[in-house]
Amino acid sequence: MKIFTSLACFLLFSTYLIAQPRQELVEVIVSPNHPDWTYSIGEKAEFTVSVFKNNVALDDIEIEYKVQPDPGYRTLKIWDEGTRTLRNNSTKIKAKKFTEPGFLRCTASVEIDGKKYSSYTTVGFAPEKIQPTTTLPKDFEAFWEKGKEELNQVPMNAVLTLMPERCTDKVDVYHVKLDNIKGKIYGILTKPKKPGKYPAILHVPGAGIRPYYGEIDEAAEGFISFTIGIHGIPVNLDKSVYDDLARGALNGYQTFNLDDRDNAYYHRVYLGCVRAVDFIESVDGFNGEDIAVTGGSQGGALSIVTASLDDRIDYLAAFYPALSDMTGFLHGRAGGWPQIFVDEFSNKPEKIEVSKYYDVVNFARFLKVPGWYSWGYNDNVCPPASTYSAYNVVTAPKELHLFQKTQHWTYPEQQELRKKWLFAKLKE
């Protein structure tokens, strides 16, 4: 079966960063016995399971549970599973020792009035000691230097089209078309109307195919802001166009040509991010010095990649970077999105080897600029073992803001922290 062609998985990943799960009538709460959800190697985690309906703790009901190494949204060996009856509104589940750096998940579920409810908690064991499973090709730097040299031979040919219907009294909005190494890069530029010299922020997108609208509020606060799409198609079309592409020609794009180093889908994408920086440098009103890049998921990956490839980037801010340590499943732990190398279709030597040239871990090794990072232990799309694999090899100044409970979404507080950090750095 081909990897990750399921539309359901695709839409799961393309959920907006700030989306949070809806509140359900019945809540299953799985609480670890360490308040920071973090343990030392060799410790045993203990989980307390409780069930609430209308904020009232239920008792004398049966729950199902399972304990296993964090599987992402795939499958890994289950350590323990069974049923328990809640007594005095809870039950405790003890896990065996975790003997290496990594993550362990306890999932609990209950059926009430014919409907099943479940949740899970993922705890970390010495996550700061997690090392990547992917390796660095000897010609990694030379490969990407060649790509940038080829990009430099392609004129940018920027075409800006004012979008009057989106402009405000303080901000001008443009649809932008650029020539890329192959095809085009499209995006939305927002810039202050007031004459002056401003720092810039490049927004790189999460996975999926969708229109973009730009960051008008950001421009109103004194920044040149450029939001790009990666698929070489205009970003101001009707949503139905993108929906059709997501279900058809671009379904599963993330693994296209994974056996061909020079034509893998992300080759054009990574170099397109460099082309976006070329464009920012050309924008009237840019201060000529200060550029940050930011995004989440695929956008978190592209933030690291862009900052690694392009020394014109001064700061990066990344939520749960995808495409990190993609070989994880070959070594018994969850690999980064798109969670490949789990079956015969993808477990081919040539695909594994090509993935190393696109793995975010290998770009993270070469970062030189300050970075702000944030994710949660419960992320099943970009599993924490994969994001730590990239973070732990970063030698540049870095700070990690953990929100353990979060899955593949963020709290408003995380968004505010990122904004505050980025704005402060760019206005120093």
Catalytic site residue from 70, 325, 359, 379: 379
**What pLDDT, on the 0 to 100 scale, is given for residue 53?**
96
Dihedral sign computed on CA atoms, order 261, 304, 388, 7: negative
Closest CA to 296 of 421, 399, 382: 382
For 277-300, how does the pLDDT look when each residue is reduced to its tens digit (9 = 90+)?
999 999 999 999 999 999 999 999
> Is residue 175 annotated as part of the catalytic site, yes or no?
no
| 6 in a structural domain | no
Q: What is the percentage of the chain residues whose pLDDT exceeds 90?
A: 93
**What pLDDT, on the 0 to 100 scale, is given for residue 5?**
37
Catalytic site residue from 297, 308, 324, 355: 297
For 193-246, how does the pLDDT look when each residue is reduced to its tens digit (9 = 90+)?
999 999 999 999 999 999 999 999 999 999 999 999 999 999 999 999 999 999
**Residue 428 banded pLDDT, cuts 50, 70, 90:** confident
Instruction: Please indicate, yes or no, whether residues 95 and 223 belong to a single structural domain of this protein.
Output: no
Closest CA to 158 of 279, 291, 303, 11: 279
For 316-370, how does the pLDDT look when each residue is reduced to its tens digit (9 = 90+)?
999 999 999 999 999 999 999 999 999 988 899 999 999 999 999 999 999 999 9
Amino acid at 301: A
CATH number, position 103: 2.60.40.1930
Q: How far apart are CA 108 and CA 112, in angstroms?
A: 13
Closest CA to 123 of 151, 94, 149, 143: 94
Q: Does the structure show a pLDDT above 60 at 130?
A: yes
Strand partners, 112: 115
Domain's final residue, options 97, 129, 161: 129
Q: Does the structure show a pLDDT above 90 at 389?
A: yes
**What pLDDT, on the 0 to 100 scale, is given for residue 394?**
98
Q: Which DSSP string do the residues of 327-358 spell out, in sequence order?
A: TGGGGTSPPPTT---SSTTT--HHHHHHHTTT
Instruction: Please indicate, yes or no, whether residues 227 and 82 belong to a single structural domain of this protein.
Output: no
**Residue 20 banded pLDDT, cuts 50, 70, 90:** confident
Q: How far apart are CA 215 and CA 184, in angstroms?
A: 21
371-389 mean pLDDT: 98
262-267 mean pLDDT: 98
**Lowest-pLDDT range of 73-77, 126-130, 307-311:** 73-77
| 20 in a structural domain | no
Helix (H) or strand (E) holding 267: helix 265-282
| 8 in a structural domain | no
For 395-413, how does the pLDDT look when each residue is reduced to its tens digit (9 = 90+)?
999 999 999 999 999 999 9
Q: Does the structure show a pLDDT above 90 at 17?
A: no
178-193 mean pLDDT: 98
CATH number, position 368: 3.40.50.1820
Report the largest interatomic distance among the alpha carbons of the chain, rounded to a whole angstrom: 71
Instruction: Please indicate, yes or no, whether residues 229 and 329 belong to a single structural domain of this protein.
Output: yes
Encode burial over 190-221: b for 16+ CB neighbours within 10 A, e otherwise: bbbeeeeebbbbbbbbbbbbbebebbbebbbb
Structural domain that includes position 109: 26-129
Instruction: Please indicate, yes or no, whether residues 337 and 358 belong to a single structural domain of this protein.
Output: yes
Instruction: Please indicate, yes or no, whether residues 225 and 340 belong to a single structural domain of this protein.
Output: yes
Beta strands (DSSP E) in 34-79 are 38-39, 46-53, 56-57, 62-69
Domain's final residue, options 107, 129, 151: 129
Q: Which DSSP string do the residues of 396-418 spell out, in sequence order?
A: SSEEEEE-TT--SS--HHHHHHH
| 374 in a structural domain | yes
Instruction: Please indicate, yes or no, whether residues 284 and 371 belong to a single structural domain of this protein.
Output: yes
Instruction: Please indicate, yes or no, whether residues 160 and 102 belong to a single structural domain of this protein.
Output: no
Instruction: Please indicate, yes or no, whether residues 108 and 157 belong to a single structural domain of this protein.
Output: no
Asked whether 191 and 198 are in contact (CB, 8 A), the reply is: yes
In what side-by-side order are the strands of the sheet with 315-319?
Answer: 159-162, 171-179, 184-192, 224-228, 198-203, 286-296, 315-319, 371-375, 398-402
Q: How many domains does the chain have?
A: 2
**What pLDDT, on the 0 to 100 scale, is given for residue 19?**
65
At which residue do the structure tokens 């960051």 appear?
A: 215
Give CA 152 to chain center in angstroms.
Answer: 28
**Residue 8 banded pLDDT, cuts 50, 70, 90:** very low
For 89-121, how does the pLDDT look when each residue is reduced to its tens digit (9 = 90+)?
999 999 999 999 999 999 999 999 999 999 999
**What pLDDT, on the 0 to 100 scale, is given for residue 177?**
98
> Is residue 408 annotated as part of the catalytic site, yes or no?
yes
Instruction: Please indicate, yes or no, whether residues 101 and 196 belong to a single structural domain of this protein.
Output: no
Q: Does the structure show a pLDDT above 90 at 3?
A: no
For 142-165, how does the pLDDT look when each residue is reduced to its tens digit (9 = 90+)?
999 999 999 999 999 999 999 999
| 18 in a structural domain | no
Domain's final residue, options 76, 110, 129: 129
> Is residue 310 annotated as part of the catalytic site, yes or no?
no
Query: What pTM value is reported for the model?
Result: 0.95
**What pLDDT, on the 0 to 100 scale, is given for residue 10?**
43
Instruction: Please indicate, yes or no, whether residues 64 and 155 belong to a single structural domain of this protein.
Output: no
| 338 prior amide bond cis, ω within 30 | yes
**Residue 16 banded pLDDT, cuts 50, 70, 90:** very low
Strand partners, 399: 372
Instruction: Please indicate, yes or no, whether residues 116 and 159 belong to a single structural domain of this protein.
Output: no
| 12 in a structural domain | no
28-35 mean pLDDT: 98
Instruction: Please indicate, yes or no, whether residues 161 and 223 belong to a single structural domain of this protein.
Output: yes
Q: How far apart are CA 15 and CA 18, in angstroms?
A: 8
Catalytic site residue from 175, 231, 267, 408: 408
| 209 in a structural domain | yes
